[in-house]
């Protein structure tokens, strides 16, 4: 399967979601994640700020922070290097990383027990189709085991029956 055409199609579908459909889907994602966070005892969680139509789960991040969960955002220090997960709290001062993404203005790295990983697509065996830069793939490859719990986040349209993941993919 050609990943680039699939990625383009899924990104177009994601950005074309009607506002009400997006709101309903984001609430369903937040409800499912909140239940898992409690039952699985998540405490140090790598989250993400929405980019290119990704689910906006900021209200959940704020609620989790208020309950004492520690949160981190991925930071790109170099395009060819693994991500670092930097401690973050809602309302914190932000700067832009080398990819132009909003990241915490600080240096405290958080060893996360759970990573919420944004996905352009997910195949039937759990393989992830990302934005194409390989950042999460490279980061997981560089992370010593045991790995953190990895939870792929996407809208329902991005669940794909055909396997598109390759051995190097997350």
Q: What is the CATH number of the domain that holds 57?
A: 3.40.50.10420
100: left (phi over 0), alpha (psi -120 to 50) or beta: left
CA dihedral defined by 52, 53, 54, 59, rounded to 10 degrees?
120
**Number of domains, the chain:** 1
| CA separation, residue 71 to residues 95, 111, 121, 136 (Å) | 17, 10, 24, 17
Residue 165, domain member (yes or no): no
Per-residue pLDDT, 62: 97
Residue 167 belongs to some domain of the structure: no
The CA-CA-CA angle for residues 125, 9, 25, to 5°, reads 70
Range of the domain at 25: 3-160
Residue 45: predicted pLDDT: 98
Q: Which residues in the chain land under pLDDT 70?
A: 1, 165-170
CA distance 134 to 76: 12
Q: Is residue 38 part of a domain?
A: yes
169 falls within a domain: no
Q: What pLDDT, on the 0 to 100 scale, is given for residue 133? A: 84
- Decide if 166 is inside a domain: no
Q: Indicate the pTM of the whole model.
A: 0.91
Look at residue 96 and tell me if it is in a domain.
yes
119 in a domain, yes or no? Answer: yes
């Amino acid at each position: 399967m050609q990943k680039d055409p699939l990625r383009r199609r899924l990104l177009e579908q994601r950005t074309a979601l009607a506002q009400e459909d997006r709101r309903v889907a984001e609430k369903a994602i937040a409800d499912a994640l909140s239940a898992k966070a409690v039952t699985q005892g998540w405490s140090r969680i790598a989250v993400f700020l929405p980019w290119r139509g990704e689910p906006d789960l900021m209200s959940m991040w704020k609620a989790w922070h208020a309950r004492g969960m520690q949160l981190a955002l991925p930071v790109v220090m170099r395009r060819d290097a693994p991500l670092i997960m930097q401690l973050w709290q809602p309302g914190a001062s932000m700067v832009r990383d080398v990819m132009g993404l909003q990241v915490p203005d600080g240096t405290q790295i958080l060893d996360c027990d759970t990573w919420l990983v944004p996905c352009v697509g997910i195949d039937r065996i759990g393989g992830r189709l990302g934005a194409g830069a390989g950042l999460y793939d490279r980061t997981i490859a560089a992370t010593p085991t045991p790995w953190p719990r990895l939870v792929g986040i996407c809208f329902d349209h991005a669940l794909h029956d055909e396997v598109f993941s390759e051995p190097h993919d997350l």
